Amino acid sequence: MPRVPDDHDLAIAAFRHRFLADALEAEGEAIITILQAQAGQLRTDPRGQSRAVSVRTLARWLAAYRRGGFLALCPQPRKDRGALRAIPVEVFARAQALRREKPARPTKTIIDILVREKTVARGTVARSTLDRHLASQGLSRHTLRSLGQKTFRRIATTAPFELVVADFHHGPYVRTADGSLRRALLGAHIDHFSRFIPEGRYFLHEDYAALRFGFRRLLTAFGLPQTYYVDNGPSFQATRFHRSPPAPRSASASSTPRRTRANAAASSNDSTERSRSNSRPRSAGARSP
């Protein structure tokens, strides 16, 4: 059954007919002259955009009109509509597997994995195109009810001090000089590559002074890390911290408290320290063994 053109199709046909009106009344070589003159003119299409058309396209429209009349100028749907054209079948199969493996995985991350696996070259797969094909297979994040779920990226490093993460985490209770119990805060600097802790100690406050103390000891003993990764904690929001030269490249995470990779590393170290000390209250001036 032939497709019935809608209003938009008819508007496009009328737009094309305006280019051909004069040529339809001409004969012989005059037709080419008219088409060449029309090809140099800008006209507004049904989408409101100004566009010019080549002589070759005008000749194709003219031939279609002579075969089928006005309706032949309506746009024809592609015979391969919905089929994979821009994405090879094996690439799309791998993308489907990655989405099924983790439904909350964003399409942008899937493309990044395909590039890192050397399955595709960077820039050859558009996110919108992959999104459309995944949705056609029932694999959109909305369909899988995973849209809006929090996702995390794995950070890969290849050498020590390529990335140092820093954070504060609640530690054990300690007895202060006035005899009261207060909860200490572990300020830890962790080398992401080796998981070595070049600087880590407990403080009674999470502020710029505590951060400056640990950061200075880190620089004095080990030098400047290539990247210093912090979160949005109060100590890292200090203006003096961000303006103090020389400063490494600081990647400031926008995640909420207790959701950052830095906090997880600090928490893991704190658990180790607490198990070694059996969680006994300690003097505020004492250091962990």
Please give the average per-residue pLDDT across 100-124, as a whole number.
Answer: 89
171 within domain boundaries: yes
Query: Do 13 and 113 fall into the same domain?
Result: no
**CATH number, domain containing residue 221:** 3.30.420.10
Q: What is the 3-state secondary structure (H, E, C) of 69-104?
A: CHHHHCCCCCCCCCCCCCCCHHHHHHHHHHHHHCCC
Query: Do 57 and 88 fall into the same domain?
Result: no
Please give the average per-residue pLDDT across 109-136, as a whole number.
Answer: 88
Q: Which of these three, 49, 73, 97, is where a domain ends?
A: 73
Residue, of 115 and 285, whose pLDDT is higher: 115
Q: Which of these three, 103, 124, 151, is where a domain ends?
A: 151
Residue, of 78 and 286, whose pLDDT is higher: 78
137-154 core/surface letters (b: 16 or more CB in 10 A; e: else): eebbbeeeebeeeeeeee
22-46 core/surface letters (b: 16 or more CB in 10 A; e: else): ebeeeeeeebeebbeebbeeeeeee
208 within domain boundaries: yes
CA-to-CA distance for 250 and 271, rounded, in angstroms?
27
Q: How many CA atoms lie within 13 A of 66 on its CB side?
A: 10
Query: Which pLDDT score, from 0 to 100, does residue 260 have?
Result: 47
159 within domain boundaries: no
Query: Do 169 and 141 fall into the same domain?
Result: no
Query: Do 123 and 222 fall into the same domain?
Result: no
Lowest-pLDDT range, 40-54, 108-122, 190-204, 246-260?
A: 246-260
Query: Which pLDDT score, from 0 to 100, does residue 264 have?
Result: 53
288 within domain boundaries: no
Q: Give residue 100's identity as a one-letter amino acid code.
A: R
* Residue 173 β-bridge partners: 183
Mean pLDDT over the full length of the chain: 77
Query: Do 28 and 60 fall into the same domain?
Result: yes
Residue 230 has pLDDT above 60, yes or no: yes
Which residues lie closer than 8 Å to 206 by C-beta, 6 or more apart?
Answer: 168, 185, 187, 233, 234, 235
Residue 158 has pLDDT above 70, yes or no: yes
Query: Which pLDDT score, from 0 to 100, does residue 257 have?
Result: 45
278 within domain boundaries: yes
CA-to-CA distance for 265 and 283, rounded, in angstroms?
25
CA-to-CA distance for 106 and 37, rounded, in angstroms?
50
Query: Do 52 and 147 fall into the same domain?
Result: no
Query: Which pLDDT score, from 0 to 100, does residue 97 have?
Result: 92
Q: Which of these three, 16, 43, 73, is where a domain ends?
A: 73
Please give the average per-residue pLDDT across 238-254, as a whole number.
Answer: 51
Please give the average per-residue pLDDT across 77-82, as a whole number.
Answer: 56
Please give the average per-residue pLDDT across 114-139, as a whole number.
Answer: 87
256 within domain boundaries: yes
Query: Do 67 and 87 fall into the same domain?
Result: no
Please report, rounded to a whole number, the percentage of residues in the chain having pLDDT higher than 70: 72
Look at the block and give the residue holding tokens 């919108």: 128
Boundaries of domain holding 127: 80-151
Residue 80 has pLDDT above 80, yes or no: no
Token pair, residue 119, equals 């399955």
Please give the average per-residue pLDDT across 87-116, as a whole number.
Answer: 89
Look at the block and give the residue holding tokens 């194709």: 60
Question: Can the peptide bond before residue 289 be classed as cis, meaning omega within 30 degrees of 0?
Answer: no
Residue 14 has pLDDT above 50, yes or no: yes
28 within domain boundaries: yes
pTM for the model stands at 0.40
> 146 falls in which pLDDT band (50, 70, 90)?
low
Query: Do 210 and 118 fall into the same domain?
Result: no
Is residue 107 within 8 Å of 134, Cβ to Cβ? yes
Query: Do 88 and 194 fall into the same domain?
Result: no
Q: List Cα–Cα distances, 106 to 23, 125, 135, 212, 229, in angstroms.
A: 52, 14, 13, 37, 23
Query: Which pLDDT score, from 0 to 100, does residue 251 have?
Result: 45
Query: Do 176 and 272 fall into the same domain?
Result: yes
User: How many structural domains is the chain composed of?
Assistant: 3
Query: Do 177 and 249 fall into the same domain?
Result: yes
Query: Do 25 and 58 fall into the same domain?
Result: yes
2 within domain boundaries: no
pLDDT tens, residue by residue, 22-58: 888 888 888 888 888 888 788 888 888 888 889 999 9
pLDDT tens, residue by residue, 179-205: 889 898 888 889 988 889 999 888 888
Residue 268 has pLDDT above 70, yes or no: no
CA-to-CA distance for 63 and 79, rounded, in angstroms?
21
Query: Which pLDDT score, from 0 to 100, does residue 243 have?
Result: 57
